[in-house]
Amino acid sequence: MSLSRTFFFAAAAAGALLAASFDAKAQFFGDPFSYFDPPPSPPPSYDQRRGAAPRAPGPDDYQPHARPYERPRARQNENRRVASLPPDADPAYSTPVDYDGDINRRQATARHVSDQTGEGAGVITIDTRRRKLYLSVGNGEAIEYSVGVGRQGFSWKGVAQIGRKAFWPGWTPPPEMLQRRPELPTHMDGGLDNPLGARALYLFDGIKDTMFRIHGTNEPDTVGKAVSSGCIRMLNADVIDLYERVGKGTRVVVR
């Protein structure tokens, strides 16, 4: 065998070994460029929509929890019977459409318990640690409801009063939210898809809206959890029951 042929076979063998080495590394490490790309982002958390000082609800507070956004049906009120608003419902924040018949009234948590709040009759007390809301009714009794509360950093404590009530409340995302998520509707009428649910009680500090609410939800699985940006979520059947028992000016204590 000539020297040139010997050199050729040696070079070919070295090339094969080098290629096999690269193949092995590629199989072990995967595509090297994938390590320079950011990991795929999870679906936007809506829920929608972090112990620090209390802050107003954020963009994640009024959106379905951990579920990609679905544009609300444009004609969701079609074929729905127009409803007369309750006399205490603010018409500027309510939708005169009857969805109450679609609510599963058996999906409720309300029950009478011994009142341990120390508050007088007619006062709402929210225990954020136990994730319960109590309406004191007198004679040592209260009505207890399960609620969803603010997640870490968004929880708050204090005293407020109900300054506004809404029937199938509409929802208008604030401008900063629309800048962040331009696919959101500029306004959503009240309905089954609305994240505020069947009723809303707006909490005020004197004449100032605190931006916190007690409201229903289109995500019943979030009730009993700490997932919101400070607002108090209730099952729709529960919030309808509470709405009918309290009026504007009702004292609300959050502990």
Q: Considering 65, 112, 187, 215, which one is annotated as catalytic?
A: 215
Q: Considering 65, 112, 187, 231, which one is annotated as catalytic?
A: 231
* Residue 65 a catalytic site member: no
* Residue 215 a catalytic site member: yes
| CA 198 – CA 103 distance, rounded (Å) | 9
Q: Are 142 and 157 in contact (CB under 8 A)?
A: no
Q: Are 122 and 245 in contact (CB under 8 A)?
A: no
Among the listed residues 236, 86, 228, the one whose alpha carbon sits nearest the alpha carbon of residue 155: 228
The encoded tokens of residue 137 equal 């009714």
Sorted by sequence, the CB contacts under 8 Å of residue 71 that are 6+ apart come out as 183, 185
The encoded tokens of residue 48 equal 């929608």
List, by residue number, the catalytic residues.
215, 231
